[in-house]
């Protein structure tokens, strides 16, 4: 980056926080609730999430469509997938989250020195309680919800919207996120630099910065 950084944008899920219960734990309880043996797991759900983004604006609608498709593929009626999705929603507490290692330190490091925003995939009814539970809802000057305020990441529009609200040009901003698909690809397409929270994979596309944890933000390598 050739010009000074003025804004830092953050992803939320798996960047600043994680659920106390894993997706597999919630799925296991959901399958038990409807009385059927599991026929897909959390890894498949997450890996195929993008296939069902057209199902609606809210995460619950996307989950309902994906679970119905998984049920049909496994030889069950789609309605069974809907029942599992309902059970999942009833058992997933949006406030049941905790900070990822270094997240609090990262937020404290950028406070006061940069314009700070968030670009997250998920509707406000799902993401808002997480911010409130963590006590960080006042850390961001703007929060853009992909799928509601703009298309889902990796579309560049949610990044552009956040920066428009902050009054900062893309070339003077850094986005911090854990997803190569949503965060790195999307932010690069929007013209930002990207700091990626490594997950052990070889990155493609290539981010500008690679951190072991989000605590790397505190070192401000772009200065």
pTM: 0.88
DSSP-derived secondary structure letter, 172? G
Strand order in the sheet with 209-211: 142-146, 115-121, 7-10, 173-177, 193-197, 209-211
Give the three-class secondary structure for 13: strand
Q: Mean pLDDT over all residues of the chain?
A: 95
Confidence of residue 46 (pLDDT cuts 50, 70, 90): confident
Domain map (residue ranges) of the chain = 7-19+96-219, 23-91
Q: Is the pLDDT reported for residue 9 higher than 90?
A: yes
CATH T-level fold of 7-19+96-219: Rossmann fold (3.40.50)
Give me the mean pLDDT over the 8-15 stretch: 97
Q: What span, in angstroms and rounded, lies between the C-alpha atoms of 102 and 17? A: 10
pLDDT tens for 15-33 read 999 999 999 999 999 999 9
């Amino acid at each position: 980056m050739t010009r000074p950084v003025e804004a830092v944008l953050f992803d939320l899920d798996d960047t600043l926080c994680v659920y106390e219960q894993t997706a597999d734990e919630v799925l296991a309880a959901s399958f038990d609730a409807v009385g059927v043996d599991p026929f897909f797991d959390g890894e498949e759900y997450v890996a195929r999430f993008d296939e069902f983004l057209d199902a609606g604006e809210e995460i619950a609608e996307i989950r309902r469509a994906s679970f119905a498709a998984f049920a049909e593929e496994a030889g069950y009626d789609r309605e069974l997938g809907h029942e599992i999705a309902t059970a999942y929603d009833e058992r997933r507490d949006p406030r049941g989250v905790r900070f990822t290692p270094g997240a609090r330190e990262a937020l404290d490091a950028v406070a006061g020195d940069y314009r700070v925003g968030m670009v997250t995939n998920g509707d406000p009814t799902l993401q808002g309680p997480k911010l409130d539970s963590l006590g960080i809802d006042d850390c961001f000057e703007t929060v853009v919800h992909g799928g509601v305020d703009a298309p889902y990441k990796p579309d560049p529009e949610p990044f552009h919207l956040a920066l428009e609200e902050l009054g900062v040009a893309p070339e003077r901003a850094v986005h911090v996120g854990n997803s190569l698909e949503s965060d790195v690809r999307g932010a690069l397409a929007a013209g930002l630099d990207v700091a990626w929270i490594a997950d052990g994979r070889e990155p493609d596309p290539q981010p500008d910065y690679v951190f072991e944890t989000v605590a790397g933000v505190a070192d401000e390598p772009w200065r």
